[in-house]
Protein backbone atom coordinates (compact mmCIF):
# COMPACT_ATOMS: atom_id res chain seq x y z
CA UNK A 1 0.00 0.00 0.00
CA UNK A 2 1.65 3.23 -1.10
CA UNK A 3 0.56 6.75 -0.33
CA UNK A 4 0.94 9.69 -2.68
CA UNK A 5 2.92 12.88 -2.38
CA UNK A 6 6.13 13.83 -0.67
CA UNK A 7 7.19 11.52 2.15
CA UNK A 8 4.17 9.28 1.56
CA UNK A 9 4.25 6.10 3.64
CA UNK A 10 4.54 2.66 2.11
CA UNK A 11 3.13 -0.31 4.02
CA UNK A 12 3.34 -4.01 3.30
CA UNK A 13 0.07 -5.73 4.13
CA UNK A 14 -1.22 -9.26 3.60
CA UNK A 15 -4.72 -9.82 2.26
CA UNK A 16 -6.41 -12.34 4.56
CA UNK A 17 -9.88 -12.57 3.06
CA UNK A 18 -11.80 -11.21 0.09
CA UNK A 19 -15.47 -11.66 -0.68
CA UNK A 20 -15.81 -9.39 -3.70
CA UNK A 21 -17.32 -6.86 -3.66
CA UNK A 22 -18.48 -6.99 -0.04
CA UNK A 23 -15.49 -7.69 2.20
CA UNK A 24 -11.75 -7.09 2.37
CA UNK A 25 -9.69 -8.13 5.37
CA UNK A 26 -5.95 -7.51 5.63
CA UNK A 27 -3.13 -7.28 8.12
CA UNK A 28 -2.03 -3.96 9.57
CA UNK A 29 1.47 -2.64 10.18
CA UNK A 30 1.00 -3.38 13.88
CA UNK A 31 1.93 -7.08 14.23
CA UNK A 32 -1.08 -9.25 14.97
CA UNK A 33 -3.68 -6.60 14.19
CA UNK A 34 -5.96 -6.63 11.19
CA UNK A 35 -8.52 -4.50 9.42
CA UNK A 36 -11.86 -5.50 7.93
CA UNK A 37 -13.71 -3.39 5.35
CA UNK A 38 -17.33 -4.44 4.79
CA UNK A 39 -19.95 -3.02 2.43
CA UNK A 40 -23.63 -3.55 3.14
CA UNK A 41 -26.27 -2.62 0.57
CA UNK A 42 -28.85 -0.04 1.65
CA UNK A 43 -31.81 1.52 -0.15
CA UNK A 44 -29.73 4.59 -1.03
CA UNK A 45 -26.36 2.93 -1.75
CA UNK A 46 -24.25 1.16 0.83
CA UNK A 47 -22.82 1.41 4.32
CA UNK A 48 -19.11 1.00 4.93
CA UNK A 49 -18.26 -0.79 8.17
CA UNK A 50 -14.59 -0.59 9.07
CA UNK A 51 -13.21 -2.64 11.93
CA UNK A 52 -9.65 -2.49 13.23
CA UNK A 53 -8.77 -5.42 15.45
CA UNK A 54 -5.75 -4.61 17.62
CA UNK A 55 -3.68 -6.80 19.92
CA UNK A 56 -2.65 -3.96 22.23
CA UNK A 57 -5.16 -1.12 22.70
CA UNK A 58 -2.56 1.15 24.32
CA UNK A 59 -0.28 0.87 21.30
CA UNK A 60 -3.22 1.74 19.04
CA UNK A 61 -3.95 4.79 21.20
CA UNK A 62 -0.31 5.87 21.34
CA UNK A 63 0.07 5.52 17.57
CA UNK A 64 -3.13 7.50 16.84
CA UNK A 65 -4.74 4.72 14.80
CA UNK A 66 -8.28 6.04 15.36
CA UNK A 67 -7.12 9.57 14.49
CA UNK A 68 -5.56 8.37 11.25
CA UNK A 69 -8.66 6.41 10.29
CA UNK A 70 -10.89 9.38 11.13
CA UNK A 71 -8.76 11.73 9.02
CA UNK A 72 -8.57 9.23 6.16
CA UNK A 73 -12.31 8.52 6.11
CA UNK A 74 -13.09 12.24 6.05
CA UNK A 75 -11.34 12.26 2.67
CA UNK A 76 -13.34 9.32 1.29
CA UNK A 77 -16.39 11.15 -0.11
CA UNK A 78 -14.38 13.72 -2.08
CA UNK A 79 -12.25 10.88 -3.45
CA UNK A 80 -15.31 8.86 -4.51
CA UNK A 81 -16.66 12.01 -6.18
CA UNK A 82 -13.50 12.21 -8.27
CA UNK A 83 -12.08 15.15 -6.31
CA UNK A 84 -9.44 13.69 -3.98
CA UNK A 85 -8.03 16.07 -1.41
CA UNK A 86 -4.57 16.15 0.09
CA UNK A 87 -3.82 14.91 3.60
CA UNK A 88 -4.64 17.64 6.09
CA UNK A 89 -2.34 17.73 9.11
CA UNK A 90 -4.44 20.48 10.71
CA UNK A 91 -7.50 18.21 10.55
CA UNK A 92 -5.40 15.36 11.98
CA UNK A 93 -4.31 17.60 14.89
CA UNK A 94 -7.91 18.70 15.56
CA UNK A 95 -9.11 15.09 15.53
CA UNK A 96 -6.24 14.07 17.81
CA UNK A 97 -7.21 16.75 20.32
CA UNK A 98 -10.83 15.57 20.30
CA UNK A 99 -9.88 11.90 20.70
CA UNK A 100 -7.33 12.76 23.39
CA UNK A 101 -10.16 14.21 25.49
CA UNK A 102 -11.81 10.77 25.27
CA UNK A 103 -8.60 8.94 26.16
CA UNK A 104 -8.31 7.47 22.65
CA UNK A 105 -5.21 9.38 21.52
CA UNK A 106 -2.21 10.96 23.20
CA UNK A 107 -2.53 14.57 24.26
CA UNK A 108 -0.94 17.15 22.02
CA UNK A 109 1.97 18.92 23.63
CA UNK A 110 1.72 22.71 23.37
CA UNK A 111 4.29 24.23 21.05
Residue 74 confidence (pLDDT): 94
Q: Is the pLDDT of residue 25 over 80?
A: yes
Question: For the sheet containing 23-27, what is the strand order?
Answer: 15-19, 23-27, 34-42, 45-53
Average pLDDT, the chain: 93
Residue 110 confidence (pLDDT): 75
Reference 97, options 89, 105, 85, 86; nearest CA is 105
Q: State pTM to two decimals.
A: 0.84
Amino acid sequence: LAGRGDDAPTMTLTILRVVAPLLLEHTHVDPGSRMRWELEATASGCTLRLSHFVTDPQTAIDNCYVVGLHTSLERLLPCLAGQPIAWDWDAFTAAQAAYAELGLAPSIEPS
